[in-house]
Amino acid sequence: MLGFGSIQDRGLVPSARAVSARAATELRLGPGSYENHAVGTILHNLQSRPESKRGYILSRTASRFPSISQAYTPSAHEEQQDRSLSITCSPARAPFNSSNQRFRSNTTTLFITPGPGTYAHDTPRNQKVSWPMKFGSPDWTQVPQPERKAARKELLCDKEFIKQRNRVAYLRLFYT
């Protein structure tokens, strides 16, 4: 058969097809070209389980091709336990927790709660931090200050110093 506009022989599909990278393999057409006896068996499905090369897929950490499990048949003396020794039974338990005490002992609560005289009642409460005052405003000359710098911008170290100064003044109310 001739191709249109050419004098070369034109092959018939599927026996003769164009040469390309995708068409390098032969097509398996027809009922006799498939290997059903090797591909469609249970043994083939067990041996070629599709999993990743790293060994895990879909949260599975099994190996890609698991080894064939071999049946282990124990011998007669391994299967049954040794009954030649005497059996010791565990002691029976009391029914319905009848061995427990009915009422709790008050001796444990004596050690948990503090006794009289434990608290200092004369300590002043709700104190406020008071700075050294001068004419109704704080006397900043007596209050610790960060070092003065040429720039007036407040740096992070200055903020940390002020926080620490305020903490120390508050804790002096209780720990002096």
The per-residue pLDDT for range 90-121, each reduced to its tens digit, is 777 777 777 777 777 666 666 677 777 777 77
Domain boundary at 10, 39, 65, which?
65
- 18 belongs to a structural domain: yes
- 39 belongs to a structural domain: yes
Is this model's pTM higher than 0.85 or not?
A: no
Q: What is the mean pLDDT of the chain?
A: 72
Domain boundary at 65, 89, 119, which?
65
- 119 belongs to a structural domain: no
* DSSP characters over the chain: -B-TT--SB-PPTTTS----SGGGSPP--STTSS-HHHHSSHHHHHHS----SSS-BTTB-S-SSPPPPPP----HHHHS---SSPPPPPPPPPGGGTTS-SS--THHHHHHS--TT-S-TTS--S----PPEETTEE-TTTS--PPP-SS-PPPHHHHHHHHHHHHHHHHTTT--
- 89 belongs to a structural domain: no
Domain boundary at 65, 92, 116, which?
65
Domain that holds residue 156: 133-171
Give how many domains the chain has, as a whole number: 2
- 80 belongs to a structural domain: no
The per-residue pLDDT for range 134-170, each reduced to its tens digit, is 787 778 788 877 777 766 666 778 888 889 888 888 8
